[in-house]
Structure 1
Amino acid sequence: MYRSLGQIKHIVTAGALLISTAAVAETGKLDALYDQLQDATEDTYLSIEEQIYTEWGRSGSASMDLLVKRGREAIEVGDTEAALDHFSALVDHAPDFAEGYAGRAQAYFELGLFGPALDDLRQTLVLEPRHFGAMAGLAIMFEAMEEPARALEAYEAAAAVHPLEPSIAGAIERLERRLDGQTI
């Protein structure tokens, strides 16, 4: 059965509305989780953090979500080249999905490719300004590049979003001592 051009336009419009409605719902859920993270306790922050990681990994496409999953698994087992391939494919096919850039930045960093890693972390933050993982990643890279003031600034930004993450708090304390001239 052939459809008229008008029917096809209505179908495409309906599909686009469904996708944008899903994106708004996901953004609302992520907003609520970030709010909960601000009010979290030592007993609740890990659960909220895990829910945020889960939301970060949801693109709205099963194929893209599979690339996230495979990229993360490759990172976990130390197969950095495979992770880079998965996350690069994700960035190519879903350039507006922050987690593709975040995962690829981690792979680049592990390969010692700081320039591309920094670029991808910056793009992650353009797409998801509250991505505390990307902020912490920037801080780690700035420390590795012997830029403690910039590292501290990035950790402080991460702490503003995720105040109870112990590794962030510890890094801030360590860098403050270093910048004040104390021995670490």
Structure 2
Amino acid sequence: MKSSKIDQLLQDLKKTDEVARQRATNELWQLWFGQKGEIGRDLLRRSQFFLEAGNFEKAEELLTETIQNYPDFAEAWNRRAVVYFSQEKYQQARKDCEQVIQIIPYHFGALHGLGLCLLALGKYREAIAAFRKALEVQPHALINQKLILECTALL
């Protein structure tokens, strides 16, 4: 999923111009959500509806089926990681974040999510490494800087 457009968006994430960074962030999310076209977007929307309604089982079921049908659909893995994390199933969420990163190594959402999972699991050094990787992609993401400090304090 790498192209010159994506390379430009990744460079824009590093700019000091906040508007350029936000535009690049939004465009990358749109690319990831749109990876499988309207069918994929619809499946993700439906899973989000179930998640927001608190129906984790249905959201997980829909996303698992989506992953079985489209194993390279990184955002389906990422959304399932969110479902697992929401249920405090941190090890399962971690595995899904790692799968996203295998597909899209620069997926800053999954890198951040991996850090959150590792933090929740008490693996502070690994969490710091994940947050640092997220910062390599999105250096102005203050949340990751804050979380590195939190993990450091917990060591």
Bin of the TM-score, shorter chain as denominator length = 0.7 to 0.9
- 2:35 match: secondary structure: coil
Residue 64 of structure 2 contacts residue 80 of structure 2 at CA under 8 Å; is this kept in 1? yes
Structure with bigger gyration radius: 1
Q: 1:75 and 1:49, CA in 2 relative to 1: closer, same or farther beyond 3 A?
A: farther
The whole-number CA distance in structure 2 between the counterparts of 1:76 and 1:52 is 23
**Percent identity for Structure 1 against Structure 2:** 25
Partner residue, 2:27: 51
User: Match of 1:158, as an amino acid?
Assistant: A
Residue 145 of structure 1: how far off its partner (Å): 1.0
Among 129, 134, 137, the residue aligned to 2:113: 137
Residue 30 of structure 1 contacts residue 55 of structure 1 at CA under 8 Å; is this kept in 2? no
Partner residue, 2:125: 149
Residue 108 of structure 2 contacts residue 137 of structure 2 at CA under 8 Å; is this kept in 1? yes
1:120 aligns with 2:111: no
**Cα distance per residue 1:44-89 (max 9 Å; x no partner):** 3223211111111012332122112222343344432232122212
> Which runs of structure 2 are paired with 1:1-184 in the superposition (5 Å)?
27-179=3-155
For structure 2, which runs of at least 5 residues remain unmatched after alignment?
none
For structure 1, which runs of at least 5 residues remain unmatched after alignment?
1-22, 180-184
Of 71-80 and 88-97, deviating more is: 71-80
The whole-number CA distance in structure 2 between the counterparts of 1:132 and 1:50 is 12
Pairwise CA RMSD of aligned residues? 2.0
Of 101-110 and 36-45, deviating more is: 36-45
